[in-house]
Amino acid sequence: MESIGINWQLLVAFLINFLVLFGLLTAILYKPVLKMLDERAAKIKESLEQAEKIKEQTSRSEEQIKAAVEAARKEGQVIITQASQIADKIKEEAKEGARKEADAIINKARDEIKLERDKSIAELRSEFSSLTILAAEKVINESLDAQKHRKLINEVLDQSNTFKQN
């Protein structure tokens, strides 16, 4: 092989150097790099698993939040309905109170009107009897017993009221 230009001793020395270098690189560099790559792959796998767990937890949390929001919405509707019913009840109570108050005011006004009417009638009777006595005195030109005359006029007025009511 020397004719081709290959030196066996040199070739064997290169091969031995290559194998020693390959052995050293394998022992010193290749195994730690593989170990580091395996550790990194494990960390990535672990991170992906954690990401998946977080995604599941987020999904569950979203569902719980949606359920809570739905429950709160339903509870709000119930509260609104109850408030509406209470408002209607209060409104009806206020209307009833106003009706009762109005009826009381009307009845009081009627009683006052009746009292005023009775008072006016009494005053008219008194004035009428006084006028009648005065007219009778002028006609007869003498003084009559005022007390007897008033009694007579009141009896006549009472009889006339009895006829009017029938």
Residue 26: pLDDT band (50, 70, 90) is: confident
Q: Where are the domains of the chain?
A: 2-165
Question: What is the CB neighbour count within 10 angstroms for residue 153?
Answer: 19
Q: What is the pLDDT of residue 33?
A: 87
Cα–Cα distance for residue pair 32/40, rounded to 1 Å: 12
| pLDDT for res 98 | 93
Distance between the two ends of the chain, CA-based, in angstroms? 166
Query: Is 144:136 a contact under the CB 8 Å cutoff?
Result: yes
Higher pLDDT, 103 or 139: 103
Contact (Cβ atoms closer than 8 angstroms) between residue 152 and residue 128: no
Other beta carbons within 10 Å of 133: 20
Q: Cβ–Cβ contacts within 10 Å for residue 59, how many?
A: 10
Decide if pLDDT at 141 tops 70. Answer: no
Q: Which residues contact 39 (CB under 8 A, 6 or more apart)?
A: none
The one-letter amino acid code at 101 reads E
Q: Is residue 142 over pLDDT 80?
A: no
Q: Which of 80-84, 95-99, 124-128, 130-134 is least confident?
A: 130-134
